Structure formats: structure tokens, C-alpha cells
Amino acid sequence: MNMLYSYARRSPIETAFGELLGALAQRPARPAANVRAIPFEVTEQGASYVVAADLPGFRKEDIAVEIDGARVTITAEAKGERAPSEGDRILYTERHAGRAVRSFELGVDIDQDRALAKYVDGVLTLTLPKKVVETRKLLAVQ
């Protein structure tokens, strides 16, 4: 048997699978379920944590911040609102729809009543004061 002949010959399943892989290789890769992680950094400034999270392309109305004890969850969701003009055809887009989520836990509980959130130029800045826990207590002697 000629080895060149056996490699050159493919079954119909191998041919179909090869064509499918070729078609997929030509498309840009998309993340699963169109959800991406939000890049962020946390610094400690005295009695507060300051979080800077990159959220370019979102409006402040699209962003939600949830604080539960020491856990912080940032969620941003943009709806696909742009429809192509007549005669236009969108070939690929990542700009107009999507969801970004990030959840992390800090060292101590956050004082939710004094927490602040500000969104400027695509960066969400959270100022998260640490909750003051009374460690000393005077007992009345009876």
C-alpha cells in the first residue's frame, strides 16, 4: 500500500470536520456567553479600600455594585441598541452588547452607608470604608 495515497484520502466525515474547523478558524473568537471579567485594582488608603475598575464602553446606568459584608460584586451590562443603517451589514462587533462581572472579597466588612461609587472616563472608582468593629466594651458592675 502506498503511504502517500492513504494520507491523501479522507473519509466524508474527516472532510466535513475539516471544512467546519476551517470555517471556525476564519471567525473571530468570542468569549463564552458574552461575559468578560472586569480588570481592577484595589489599594488600601488608611481606613478605606479604593477600587479602580476598567469599564470602557458602558454607561453609568449600566453598572451595578453590590456589597455584602466583605464581598463586592460589580456587574455591567450593555444592551445591543444600535441597528445597522439600510444597506449596512455588521460583519463583527464587540462594542454594543455584552456583560462584564467581577466579584472579590476584601479583608474586612465594608461600611455600606459610607461607601461611594464614581464613574468617569470608563473607570469605576469605589471608595469602600472599613466597618469599625468595637473590640472593647465596658461592662457595668452590678
Q: Which CATH number characterizes residue 55's domain?
A: 2.60.40.790
pLDDT digits (tens, 9 = 90+) for 47-104: 999 999 999 888 999 999 999 999 999 999 887 666 667 778 877 766 656 788 999 9
Q: Is residue 4 part of a domain?
A: no
Q: Is residue 40 part of a domain?
A: yes
Helices (H), 28-121: none
Q: What's the total number of domains in the chain? A: 1
**Which sign does the torsion angle of CA 90, 91, 94, 99 carry?**
positive
Confidence of residue 133 (pLDDT cuts 50, 70, 90): confident
**Which sign does the torsion angle of CA 120, 58, 61, 65 carry?**
negative
pLDDT at 52: 97
Q: Is residue 3 part of a domain?
A: no
Average model confidence (pLDDT) across the chain? 79
pLDDT at 114: 95
Q: Is residue 2 part of a domain?
A: no
Higher per-residue confidence, 17 vs 48? 48
CA 114 remoteness from chain centre: 25
Of 2-6, 20-24, 62-66, 130-134, the range with the highest mean pLDDT is: 62-66
Report yes or no on whether pTM surpasses 0.75: no
pLDDT digits (tens, 9 = 90+) for 57-73: 889 999 999 999 999 99
Q: Is residue 9 part of a domain?
A: no
Q: Is residue 47 part of a domain?
A: yes
Could you tell me how many residues make up the chain? 142
Q: Is residue 51 part of a domain?
A: yes
Range of the domain at 106: 33-82+91-131
Q: Is residue 13 part of a domain?
A: no
